[in-house]
Amino acid sequence: MALFLRFGPENQWGTAPDAPKSTYTLPEGAEYVDGCPMLNGRVLHPTEIVEERSRPFVPSVAQEDMEKAMECGALTPDSVVSALDASAAPFKRRTPTWADKARSVEPEAEHYQKHQQLLDDIAFVQLQDEMGDWNEDDEILNEAADWLEQEEKILWAPQSGIPSSYFDAFDIAKTEFIPTRTTQEVKVVRVEPLWSIASVNGRSCVYLPWGSKTRLDGPPGVAQPLAHQRPLKLHEFVLADLEWHPQGKNFWRATKIHPKLPTHEMLVSVVESVFDCGDEWKTLHMKGYQYTYEIPCDPAHIGSIIGKDGKNITSLIHEIQAQRQKTGYGEMPRHIEPDPEYLPPIGDPDGLPLPEVTITPIVQDPNEFTVPFKPTKARVRVLIPVCCIWDQAEVETLVSFMHS
């Protein structure tokens, strides 16, 4: 640590002028004897001498300043210059403070331990300097080469040119890290007349040889008469037997789709409320309901069922509402349906009320014997407000989309 002082501006030779010399005034009767200020045969104390031109202030560096500089990194010891540095400074005993007593640490032992830790740090820095200087550039080049190789593998496979995600999947299948056959709950994301595409954990990679004009329990890829069709529905969950069959972006092919569990058996409770609506000429007795179901559903699928900003669940509700409006329903109060010949669009605040859906995972009792690594149930509450035209059949249709 070096301290440089400079007084005044630089001159034409680039060096700073000398600092002004101080002048002193002695008390009356005092004089210099051999360069020493004396008064009546005694040496004057510095406080008895008046300094007319004070010297420049030179900051001093105390021991605590050195320790703080080492602590914050401004001053880092990197060598032991002598045997004296290798020995700790003598320990000065002092009265223990309440902090020392609370820490229950011997101050003398702590003093020598800190010094030994300093020596160990210096030795480590010296070892790094000795071992790291000669191969630092080589290490940087090796890291750059490894990074470039990894990036090339991420972008493209080295020989086939297939994207690495597919190439890695092929390698995993060949080395049997994943089974060639499995049974998995999948979500239908695209439906065509004779085939469909489903997703697993949000990735569309399953080919289903059944579509909108086939029968789930019939032969795959064969269109059926309208009366015998049991089509797949968009956004519904199904349980399927899959086999490993990489083809394009689809890694799996379904060989069988299992029948859905009956939704009506999952009904837990129904709450009914009755309201009188109308005017002074006519009164209508309207009802509202709340249905509660407990369905087999991995809580990880709840986000997929609802969709971003409720897009998926809203689309299902609107689709079922459109089908329900095509059939007849009872008379509505005038504030709900002022003009029977005109019906506002589905979802319009002035239109018919729509149900509200709440889905929450069911937390298992820790004392109950369950499979701990995969929660399997969720609670679905469907609120049918007063004047909503939905029946229990529409509610069961909606809930059936959420389980396999």
CATH number at residue 237: 2.40.50
The single-letter code of the amino acid at 12 is: Q
Exposed e or buried b for every residue in 3-23, given b needs 16+ CB within 10 A? eeeeeeeeeeeeeeeeeeeee
121, 155, 178 - which closes a domain: 178
Q: Is residue 13 part of a domain?
A: no
Largest CA distance in the chain: 135
Q: Is residue 27 part of a domain?
A: no
Q: Do 202 and 298 lie in a common domain?
A: no
pLDDT, position 208: 92
Average pLDDT over residues 111-135: 76
Average pLDDT over residues 396-404: 91
- Per-residue pLDDT at 213 exceeds 70: yes
Backbone φ, ψ for residue 35 (5° rounding): 80, 5
Contact 190, 204 (CB under 8 A): yes
Q: Do 174 and 99 lie in a common domain?
A: no
Q: What confidence tier does 42 reach under pLDDT thresholds 50, 70, 90?
A: confident
pLDDT, position 207: 93
pLDDT, position 47: 67
Q: Is residue 38 part of a domain?
A: no
Q: Is residue 271 part of a domain?
A: yes
Q: Do 153 and 126 lie in a common domain?
A: no
pLDDT, position 293: 95
pLDDT, position 373: 47
Average pLDDT over residues 299-307: 86
Q: Do 370 and 337 lie in a common domain?
A: yes
For the chain, the average pLDDT equals 77
Contact 243, 252 (CB under 8 A): yes
Contact 77, 70 (CB under 8 A): yes
pLDDT, position 1: 45
pLDDT, position 274: 82
Q: Is residue 273 part of a domain?
A: yes
- Per-residue pLDDT at 157 exceeds 90: no
Q: Do 395 and 323 lie in a common domain?
A: yes
Least confident residue range of 71-80, 199-208, 322-331: 71-80
pLDDT, position 78: 56
The single-letter code of the amino acid at 351 is: G
Q: Do 142 and 109 lie in a common domain?
A: no
81 or 303: whose pLDDT is higher?
Answer: 303
**How many Cα atoms are found within 13 Å in the side-chain-facing hemisphere of 233?**
16
Distance CA 231, CA 234 (A): 10
Distance CA 164, CA 221 (A): 31
> In angstroms, what is the C-alpha Rg of the chain?
43
pLDDT, position 136: 62
Give me the percent of the chain exceeding a pLDDT of 70.
70
pLDDT, position 133: 53
Q: How many other β-carbons are positioned within 10 Å of the β-carbon of residue 84?
A: 8
Q: How far is CA 391 from CA 41, 54, 82, 383, in A?
A: 121, 100, 94, 11
Distance CA 70, CA 125 (A): 14
The single-letter code of the amino acid at 285 is: H
Q: How far is CA 402 from CA 210, 239, 303, 314, 380, in A?
A: 19, 12, 11, 13, 9
pLDDT, position 238: 92
Contact 316, 401 (CB under 8 A): yes
Q: Do 123 and 142 lie in a common domain?
A: no
pLDDT, position 154: 65
The single-letter code of the amino acid at 256 is: K
Q: Do 287 and 363 lie in a common domain?
A: yes
Least confident residue range of 60-74, 158-172, 224-238, 311-325: 158-172
Token couple for 212: 């909108």
- Per-residue pLDDT at 83 exceeds 60: no
Q: Is residue 56 part of a domain?
A: no
Average pLDDT over residues 43-59: 64
Q: What confidence tier does 87 reach under pLDDT thresholds 50, 70, 90?
A: confident
Distance CA 295, CA 371 (A): 16
Give the count of domains, the chain. Answer: 4
Token couple for 129: 């300097």
Q: Do 143 and 234 lie in a common domain?
A: no
Average pLDDT over residues 191-203: 89
Average pLDDT over residues 18-22: 55
Token couple for 205: 């990679």
Nearest to 302 by CA among 221, 243, 215, 380: 380
Q: Do 248 and 299 lie in a common domain?
A: no
pLDDT, position 295: 92
Return all residues near 91 (Cβ < 8 A) that are at least 6 apart. 107, 108, 111, 112
Q: Is residue 222 part of a domain?
A: yes
**How many Cα atoms are found within 13 Å in the side-chain-facing hemisphere of 185?**
17
Residue ranges making up the domain that contains 299: 263-400
257, 274, 290 - which closes a domain: 257
Q: Contacts for 283-286 with beta carbons within 8 Å, 24 or more apart?
A: 284/331, 284/332, 284/333, 286/333, 286/386, 286/387
Per-residue pLDDT tens over the stretch 221-246: 888 888 888 888 888 999 999 998 88
Q: Do 273 and 382 lie in a common domain?
A: yes
The conformation of residue 218, written as its DSSP 8-state character, comes to S
Average pLDDT over residues 21-28: 68
Q: What confidence tier does 269 reach under pLDDT thresholds 50, 70, 90?
A: very high
Q: Do 172 and 186 lie in a common domain?
A: no
- Per-residue pLDDT at 360 exceeds 60: yes
Residues in the chain: 404
17 or 153: whose pLDDT is higher?
Answer: 153
150, 178, 206 - which closes a domain: 178
Least confident residue range of 41-45, 58-62, 78-82, 117-121: 78-82
